[in-house]
A and B are shown apart, each in its own frame.
Chain A
């Protein structure tokens, strides 16, 4: 219920100026307990194969039902292969996990999207595409990148399997309200600098734990100018700053994106929803517990050099020197990262040879990302020693890209063109790095082993990853 005027609870709270987060929160409070915690109603739940089998098993063991089947959509994205999808899955753990999801969905009356379906894709890509994600809703998923959906002005956050089970059984979660942080982005993005660079720069500044305890709202003129795809990238990466929730106030761009989607409201319901959504902005005098401001007009393309997303730097900078770090724990962390990544302090980031390139994921697997990468790849060739794959975030993205001829551009350049899924971002299927391999990646995490045991990940934007694939090494896209 996003409509302030009609919610008694919201009305009593509306005397004080409220943030966007406060408004969506207030409209979903089922009850407030004596200890100040709230029971928060959950409108939407995306179910995937990795975080749900134990939750479904819990329901079965306790003889519980799914409270509201129409609030859930199930899709397998982590474990599915990105090639050979016309064939049955080979026998093994992945097949067992995917079929378990299909069986559970059937048993509990949840709509399940098959991997051959033209609506298949990564949960965080298809939620918005289907109009399942709407402004002002609460949305959860057993996946940390659920923060993505906050781009629509939703409270969306990742949960573990126990909370997945709770959301399925009760449609509500006991939660403590977060503190509020506003990140104000000002200035125009320089040529060939992307929102990925902005968010990497932000994480480098506030740290991988900088957002712990906060719900972040992104505001400022830069955000207003961003496409919905770019806003999703921004909110997606919020968890890498330690915050489960990143939000953007919905505006005309948001409404235009949502309108006409399969599950979006229509007719009178649309009008009513729209009227409510227009109220979803922080009040001008709303107070945030923390404010951060960033001028994006001076940013360079960013690349990660370490094994946490906060360990990233402008591409024209050298690998930092742990010896220059005063904090001993941070120094040890840096040294460990450099050892794992096989890097020497002071070496330039640009020019570092790569073995693989990965373009895709819930962070950068949307049509706009593929367009930006294709613009770089057009008429060029992937370096002979580099294996590059492009994995659309969803089948819809793939079909649209193919209609635009992007697949041809990628294939002609020597990239492999794949089917939708999480792929090499999480390396649960066959798409993974070998030990010691270095990868230019548009994904979200450069953790040790994230893309395969011993693999070395450098996070960057889609255009930067495409450029690295072609040059055979990390390059400054501005020099291309």
Chain B
């Protein structure tokens, strides 16, 4: 994960409620196997219409925006992390909204994208600043968004997530380094107290090789 401390950019305004992850990244592109290069399909249906006015991310100067100001419940719906990878690939590193879909929110944090929750009044001001094409500064050290013209908003973020993003750390690596013995101890306790949860006794083997004449290797 790329570390993030501070970022100054104009912000693209998308004042629409309940923008779901199907809109952000349509399902048919989920067949792609990689995380890279997904910006091509970001908001695909909105950006390939030929209609005027063009979608905000195709409208200069917002095509260069590294910040998005969105409506409530942004990223609701599907758990597809491709939505976040596509946003990251486009170059956006911070999203300001009144609320987020929960899984999307969590996915943002794992990818160094800041999902910033703003109360309705500060959100309105941020949206105004975005439309006015003012440069916004998101500072993770001080947990503030500066809207230009002396306006600044403080935001909250989970302390651990903040630290991970500031340092660009890999959460899995941290858990493996610090918590493995606790996990092992938990598993030992669970094996004695709730032994029925352990499926390593061979019961899962019944799931294998159930196709008669199991030589159909070309079939999945």
Task: Spell out A's residues near B (CB within 8 Å).
Answer: 1-3, 6-7, 30-31, 33, 35, 37, 39, 41, 43, 50-51, 53-54, 57-58, 62, 64, 67-68, 70-71, 73, 76, 78-79, 88-89, 93-102, 111-119, 130, 134, 137, 142-144, 158-163, 165-166, 169-172, 174, 176, 208-209, 212-213, 239, 242-244, 262-263, 265, 269-270, 272-273, 276, 308, 310, 329-330, 332-333, 336, 426-428, 432, 445, 447-450, 453-454
Contacts and interface: CB of A to CB of B under 8 A. Distances in A.
B76 A242 contact: yes
Interface stretch (B2-10, B101-109, B144-152): B101-109
A209 B196 contact: no
Contact of A1 (B16, B79, B84, B193): B193
Contacts of B23: 447-449
Contact of B194 (A3, A37, A333): A3
A311 B149 CA distance: 39
B75 to A, nearest CB: 11
Given A161-B81, A209-B73, A166 B207 contact: no
B131 to A, nearest CB: 15
A41 B183 contact: yes
A53 B20 contact: no
B93 interface: no
| Most chain B beta-carbon neighbours within 10 Å: one of A112, A143, A212, A432 | A212
Nearest to A55: B81
B128 interface: no
Given A33-B160, A116-B219, A169-B176, A244 B103 contact: yes
Contacts of A212: 73, 99-102
A33 B31 CA distance: 37
A123 to B, nearest CB: 12
A434 to B, nearest CB: 13
B110 A162 contact: yes
B207 A242 contact: no
Contacts of A269: 195-196
Interface stretch (B32-40, B56-64, B133-141): B32-40
Nearest to A132: B199
Contact of A64 (B27, B77, B111, B172): B172
Interface string B41-56: 0000100000000000
Given A50-B80, A116-B211, A162-B81, A336 B31 contact: no
A333 B106 CA distance: 25
B99 A143 contact: no
A51 B79 contact: yes
Contacts of A158: 79, 103
Contact of A111 (B15, B30, B197, B207): B207
Contacts of A33: 160
17 contacts: A7-B193, A30-B179, A37-B158, A41-B187, A58-B172, A130-B207, A143-B78, A160-B107, A163-B110, A170-B172, A172-B175, A329-B15, A333-B16, A445-B77, A448-B22, A448-B23, A449-B23
Contact of B203 (A53, A114, A262): A262
A51 B80 contact: yes
Contact of B193 (A6, A68, A114): A6
A91 to B, nearest CB: 11
Contact of B172 (A165, A176, A265): A165
Contact of A35 (B107, B160, B173, B194): B160
B200 to A, nearest CB: 4
Contacts of B20: 308, 445, 447-448
Contacts of B215: none
B182 A30 contact: yes
Contact of B77 (A31, A51, A116, A144): A144
Contacts of B203: 262-263
A27 to B, nearest CB: 8
Contacts of B78: 143-144, 445
Nearest to B208: A111
Interface string B108-123: 0011000000000000
A69 to B, nearest CB: 8
Nearest to A7: B193
Nearest to A29: B186
What 8 A-B pairs are tightest by C-beta distance, nearest first? A265-B196, A162-B110, A160-B81, A160-B107, A93-B31, A209-B73, A70-B200, A158-B79
Nearest to A102: B220
Contacts of A41: 183, 186-187, 190
B175 A209 contact: no
Given A30-B182, A37-B158, A169-B172, A332 B16 contact: yes
A144 B103 contact: yes
Contacts of B159: 35
B34 A54 contact: yes
A114 B76 contact: no
A353 B39 CA distance: 37
A166 B172 CA distance: 6
A338 to B, nearest CB: 14
A98 B158 contact: no
A263 B199 contact: yes
Contact of A70 (B26, B28, B186, B204): B204
B18 interface: yes
A331 to B, nearest CB: 11
A276 B197 CA distance: 12
A54 B28 CA distance: 17
